[in-house]
A and B are shown apart, each in its own frame.
Chain A
C-alpha cells in the first residue's frame, strides 16, 4: 500500500515537472546559421509536438513549417521551429511568426564574424520523434556568455504554483485533522470494542468447556 502511494506521488510530480519544463520559456545563446521551410507530416501522435495555429491545420495531414537553425558557442547545433501558437496551448499567443522569420534571416552571421542572439523558446528537441522547440523571440547580445536576462515568467508562474500547492496542502491537512481523523478513530475504537467482546465471549466458552474436563 505504501509503495502504491509513493508510485502515484512520484508519477504525479515527475509529470508536472516535465509539463512545466516543456511549457515554460527557456533561453539559448546561439549564432543563427540559417532558416528554412520544410513540409511536415502531422498524421501521427507526434502531432502533439507541433502547434495548431489555425483550424485548417486540423484537417490537413501535411503543413509547411519554418525552422531556424543555430550553433551554440560550444559548437553544438540547435534547431527551432517557428510556428504561431495562436489562441491554443501553450498560452504564448504568438502571432508574429513571419516577423520573427524576417528577424532571424536578418540575424544570420558567419563563423568568422559571429553575432550572438538569445533565442527564447519552449519545447523539447528530440531526434527520435523529430520534435523541435518553438522559438518565441530573439534579441542580440554581446557575446556567447552574455547575461540572458531575468526569467520573470518562470519566477511568477513557479511562485504562484508553489503558493497554490501550499494553500491546498494546508487546507487539506486541516480538513483531515478536523473531519477524517476523528471518524477513523471512531471506527478503530468500535472495531477494538467488538474484538474485546468476542474475546470475552470466547473466554467464557472456554471456561465452560473446561468444567467438563476430568479433574
Chain B
C-alpha cells in the first residue's frame, strides 16, 4: 500500500510539472515562430506559418524530452534501490 501511495503522489506531482512544462515550452515555441515570421519575409500568412511550425514542434525531440519529467525520477528511484540494497 505504501508503494501505491508513493506512486500516486509521485504521479500527481510529476503530472503537474509535466503539464506546466509542456504548456510553457509550447508557448515559447509559438513566441519563437512569431518572432521568426516578423523578422523574415514570407509569402504565407502569419497564422498559417505559426500553425505549421507548431505542428512540426509537436513531433519534435524537444517535446518528447519533457517526458524525462517522469523517466528521470523513476530511474533515480531504481538506482537508489540498487545502491542501498544490492551494491
Q: State the CA gap A91–B77 with chains docked (Å).
A: 8
Segment at the A interface, from B21-29, B34-42, B79-87: B79-87
A93, B81: Cβ atoms under 8 Å?
A: yes
Interface string of B67-87 (1 = CB under 8 A from A): 000000000010011001110
Q: Which of A54, A88, A94 sits near B85, CB closer than 8 Å?
A: A94
With an 8 A cutoff between CB atoms, is A82 at the interface? no
- Are A55's CB and B84's CB within 8 A? no
Is B80 touching A88 in the complex (CB atoms < 8 A)? no
**Given A92-B80, A93-B77, A93-B80, A87 contacting B5 (CB threshold 8 A):** yes
Contact A136 B84 (CB under 8 A): yes
A55 x B80 contact (CB < 8 A): no
Chain B: residues with Cβ within 8 Å of the partner, total of: 11
Tell me if A55 and B85 are in contact (CB < 8 A): no
Return A105 CB to nearest CB of chain B, in Å: 18
Q: How far is the CA of A91 from the CA of B81 in the complex (A)?
A: 9
Name the interface residues of A50-106: CB closer than 8 Å to any CB of B: 52-55, 86-88, 91-96, 99
User: Is the CB–CB distance between A52 and B84 below 8 Å?
Assistant: no
> In whole angstroms, how far apart are the Cα atoms of A95 and B1 in the complex?
15
User: CA–CA, A52 to B3, complex, Å?
Assistant: 12
Q: Check: B48 CB closer than 8 A to any chain A CB.
A: no
For A87, A94, A136, the residue with the greatest tally of chain B CB atoms inside 10 Å of its CB is: A87
Chain A interface residues toward B at CB < 8 A: 52-55, 86-88, 91-96, 99, 136-137
- 5 A-B pairs with the lowest CB-CB distances in the bound complex, closest first: A87-B2, A96-B85, A87-B6, A93-B81, A87-B3
11 examples of A-B residue contacts, CB within 8 angstroms: A53-B2, A55-B2, A87-B2, A87-B3, A88-B6, A93-B80, A93-B81, A94-B84, A95-B81, A96-B85, A99-B85
